[in-house]
Amino acid sequence: MDENQERQHQKKKIIIRIIGSILLALGVVCAIIGFADMAKSFQEERMPKIWLFFIGFPSIAIGGFMLIVSFQRSIQRYVKNESVPVFNEMGQQIAPGISSIANSVKTGIEETICAACGTPNDKDAQFCKSCGKALKVVCPDCGQANEADAKFCNKCGKTLNN
């Protein structure tokens, strides 16, 4: 269905809804007047205006039917068309979450956790991105990068001045 057809379809549906609403309202009014007239006719001992019911009930039925049809179609359309984007949206919202979890799991193996504040940093990071403390202590003797709280170099065994 192209956009023009779709718009015409929408317009038709709105017209059906408007006519349906008018018929329903008219029918209800006729029926109420009819009932009131019937009650009055018993007191006044005359024939009730039956024709009000002949107008009232069919217009309630037709108006109601039109409204049901127009809304039912939009409900069906909603279920058929809207549920797909909803699922797509859900997927788009879930996917980054999953990938970020997957990423953090992946980087979790290779990350350096700051000894001072506990923030996970990139494994190659020299300083904590959160508190700025040094994450590695470079051995002054051999140049080996050691953990920030290491007392001795893990390569040459020299004392590290922390």
Are the C-beta atoms of residues 31 and 57 closer than 8 Å to each other? yes
Residues near Zn ion (CB under 5 A), total: 16
Are the C-beta atoms of residues 66 and 20 closer than 8 Å to each other? yes
154 binds Zn ion (CB under 5 A): no
CB of 160 to Zn ion, least distance (A): 8
CB-nearer residue toward Zn ion: 70 or 112: 112
> What is the C-alpha radius of gyration for the chain, rounded to an integer number of angstroms?
39
Instruction: For tokens 């779709």, name the residue.
Output: 6
Q: How many residues does the chain have?
A: 162
Among positions 142, 151, 152, 159, the unique one binding Zn ion when judged by CB under 5 A = 142
153 binds Zn ion (CB under 5 A): yes
Among positions 6, 110, 124, 141, the unique one binding Zn ion when judged by CB under 5 A = 141
Which residues are paired to 127 by β-bridges?
A: 134
Q: d(Cα 131, Cα 101) in Å, to the nearest integer? A: 24
Are the C-beta atoms of residues 70 and 13 closer than 8 Å to each other? yes
156 binds Zn ion (CB under 5 A): yes
List of E strands, 23-160: 112-113, 120-121, 136-138, 145-147
Site string for Zn ion, 94-123 (x = CB under 5 A): --------------------x-xx-x----
126 binds Zn ion (CB under 5 A): no
Looking at 19-27, 50-58, 99-107, 145-153, which segment touches Zn ion (CB under 5 A)? 145-153
CB of 93 to Zn ion, least distance (A): 31
Residue 33 in 3-state DSSP?
helix
144 binds Zn ion (CB under 5 A): yes
Give the residues lining the site for Zn ion (CB under 5 A): 114, 116-117, 119, 128, 130-131, 133, 139, 141-142, 144, 153, 155-156, 158
